[in-house]
Structure 1
Amino acid sequence: MSDNRIVKAIKNKTKDLEVEMSFFDHLEELRWHLIRASIAILIFTSLVFYYYDFIFDRIIMGPSHSDFWTYRTLCSIGNYLHRSGWCMGTINLHLMNNELAGQFTLQINSSLIIGITLGIPYLLWEIWRFIKPALHENERKAASGFVIYASFLFILGVLFGYFVITPMSVNFLLSYQVSSSIQNLISIDSYLSSVSTLTLATGLVFQLPILVYILSNLGILTAKFMRNSRRYAIVIILIVAAVVTPTPDMITMTVVSIPLFILYEVGIVVAGQVEKRKLKKHTDLLASK
């Protein structure tokens, strides 16, 4: 009896060691995926740092220039509709730096932010490569376009945030005055924080269909629930639009809300497709018995 107990203890210990080694093997694999993603982000950051003069003048400071693409487009639309006041005049932006290493820190931080933004699609690809072996064949097929869809929605959101939300917010906030005796002297950190937050936040908000897909697969969210909750979703979307855009005018909130409404409707379609796929799988399973 004693020998049997020793043998069983050795077998159980061996199994525990195998599980522990497997766990650490997975951690090691994840570490290398993250290292490769970090290297890609570092490369993008280095390129941005090298070409920083152009990137700072034409991209970071782009929404503060009166010849920015958004302002020129609005002016063209206004001229076509014979509406005055749609063309942008001179934007009075006076940036200031009150720290000794402020400009150097600005270049480092902004290069890193842009590098991370550019590297997110590759980071998603590395995460997918790590998760893929653990999925079944049908799950792999169902999620095969995850990286493409998530990257496309993120890039679309970033472009929308940069070309629509950011210039509207910058134009409103710079032109807003409590009193003519107060002069706006904007710190460069404040400007960079506003532009990056508005741009990246919109990119994350545009991931709504991906979030709906994940929750639908987990059985937490259904298309019927989303349809029945549409009226509440409208209120939440308007609140999100009000938070994302620090401008109180209805035009800006409407422009921001429309893509969110579209994303919500796309989410309903995605949830419906997931339910159909689950129903078909269940039907095929019953038919095979």
Structure 2
Amino acid sequence: MSQSALPPNDQEMTLVQHLLEFRNSVTKGILAILVLFVILFPFANDLYLYISEPLSRFLPEGTSMIATGVASPFLTPFKLSLVLAIYLAMPFLLFQVWSFIAPALYHHEKQLVGPLLFFSSFLFYAGGAFAYYVVFPLVFGFLSTAAPEGVTVATDISLYLDFVIKMFFAFGIAFEVPIVVVLLILTRMVSPQKLSHARPYVVVGAFVIGMLLTPPDIVSQTLLAIPMWLLYEAGIIVGSAVQKARRRKDEEDTNEEENDTAKQNPTNSGQSNDKASPASDETDPYAIPEEDFDNRYADQLEDDEDWDKAFDEIDSEFSILEQEYKKRKEAEQAEKDAQNKEAKKEDDDLPSDSTPKDSSDKPSKSDK
């Protein structure tokens, strides 16, 4: 990789340095999880009681949750503490991911990381809180009343924990939809208009995701699909506002540059403005400014040019071979035609055996 292909003020790192940096990031993440686990494990039973409260309130009187496995009374709180440690360490883990890829980012890209980490963590925890305080009471209230008569609802603690973990992460990831939408708009991969036109497909997709990630009931499916759709709309609104602000700032910067140029060259300002006006009218609002282009992929461009030259040479060689092949075929065909003509001429020169003999050669009856 050449120096021009690197971000400014950064130097190329070797593979060993990348691996060491990756090892440090992974080690810090594991240590953070272990520290949180050590802190949470003494309170594992209390944490499980708090997690199981949305279901316990709907259990019939005189019943409680059960443990069908031999080691479930110990392993289930242990698993809860470990998963909760990972859940709480998520912002720090995301920060470690960012610190690993930060050397490859430019300054304007690094400016997005802070708000991105904050809002993604906030929305992730907001999804978990929404699942616990809104979805769980409605779902468990519905499921507890759906039990047939004579059936006692006694949920296994391990199965309940698996269900809760799945729901927490499902709603946490679903609430990240605005982040994805805003990033798509800011990177100019998709325009807000196209995202608005795709709204019917998004609504259907939200209900499909809700069907796959939630229990087989319409309540939890709807409670996951509707927030996803609303957050999608919020992402479009926020992304459009940020895009307009950035476009306005770019226009102001362009005007300032034009004014500075006009002050430096007052005699040519009129001509430059006349020449620049048609281009400004035809500017694509979603076009990437020239200053955003960099030389990060300079080596790749050079390699592409080399490959293009190589392919052009191969094409020219193939065309030459094709012409030679055609000439050889034409020569062979001409030789075959000449041989056929000679053979036909020889056949014409041979005496014909099919001519009838003279009648005088036949013996007469008198001779006999």
Using structure 1 for the length normalisation, give the TM-score. 0.73
**Superposition pairs for residues 164-243 of structure 1, below 5 Å?**
164-177=134-147, 179-216=148-185, 219-243=188-212
Please identify, of 264-273 and 194-203, the stretch whose mean Cα deviation from structure 2 is larger. Answer: 264-273
Q: Secondary structure at the match of 2:111?
A: helix
- Determine if contact 2:60/2:153 at 8 Å carries over to the other structure: no
| Residue in 1 that maps onto 2:52 | 61
CA shift in 2, pair 1:91/1:246, >3 Å: farther
Q: Pick from 11, 21, 26: which aligns with 1:34?
A: 26
Q: Pick from 35, 45, 59: which aligns with 1:43?
A: 35
**Superposition pairs for residues 22-171 of structure 1, below 5 Å?**
22-57=14-49, 59-66=50-57, 94-171=64-141
Pairwise CA distance, 1:253: 4.8
The CA distance in 2 between the partners of 1:192 and 1:254, in whole Å, is 22
Pairwise CA distance, 1:265: 0.9
- Determine if contact 1:169/1:247 at 8 Å carries over to the other structure: no
**Superposition pairs for residues 243-282 of structure 1, below 5 Å?**
243-246=212-215, 248-249=217-218, 253-272=221-240, 275-276=243-244, 277=246, 280=250, 282=288
Q: What amino acid does structure 2 have at the position aligned with 1:259?
A: P
- Determine if contact 2:44/2:78 at 8 Å carries over to the other structure: no
| Residue in 1 that maps onto 2:324 | none
Q: Secondary structure at the match of 1:97?
A: coil
- Determine if contact 1:169/1:245 at 8 Å carries over to the other structure: no
Q: Secondary structure at the match of 1:107?
A: helix
Using structure 2 for the length normalisation, give the TM-score. 0.59
Q: Secondary structure at the match of 1:221?
A: coil
The alignment of Structure 1 onto Structure 2 pairs a total of residues equal to: 244
The CA distance in 1 between the partners of 2:198 and 2:288, in whole Å, is 27
The CA distance in 2 between the partners of 1:22 and 1:175, in whole Å, is 62
Please identify, of 181-190 and 109-118, the stretch whose mean Cα deviation from structure 2 is larger. Answer: 181-190
- Could you report, residue by residue, the CA deviation over 1:68-102 in whole angstroms, capped at 9, with x for unpaired residues? xxxxxxxxxxxxxxxxxxxx785776422232222
Q: Structure 2: which 5+ residue stretches go unaligned?
A: 1-10, 251-286, 293-368
The CA distance in 1 between the partners of 2:204 and 2:129, in whole Å, is 25
- Determine if contact 1:63/1:167 at 8 Å carries over to the other structure: yes
State the percentage of identical aligned residues. Answer: 27
Q: Secondary structure at the match of 1:38?
A: helix
| Residue in 2 that maps onto 1:74 | none
- Could you report, residue by residue, the CA deviation over 1:176-213 in whole angstroms, capped at 9, with x for unpaired residues? 22x32433332211111111111121011111122223
The CA distance in 2 between the partners of 1:284 and 1:91, in whole Å, is 70
The CA distance in 1 between the partners of 2:109 and 2:229, in whole Å, is 29
Please identify, of 271-280 and 112-121, the stretch whose mean Cα deviation from structure 2 is larger. Answer: 271-280
Q: Secondary structure at the match of 1:145?
A: helix
Q: Structure 1: which 5+ residue stretches go unaligned?
A: 1-17, 67-87
Q: Secondary structure at the match of 1:96?
A: coil
Which structure is larger by alpha-carbon Rg, 1 or 2?
2
The CA distance in 2 between the partners of 1:90 and 1:105, in whole Å, is 26
| Residue in 1 that maps onto 2:310 | none
When the two chains are superposed, the root-mean-square deviation of aligned CA atoms in Å is 2.9
CA shift in 2, pair 1:65/1:45, >3 Å: same
| Residue in 1 that maps onto 2:271 | none
Pairwise CA distance, 1:130: 1.8
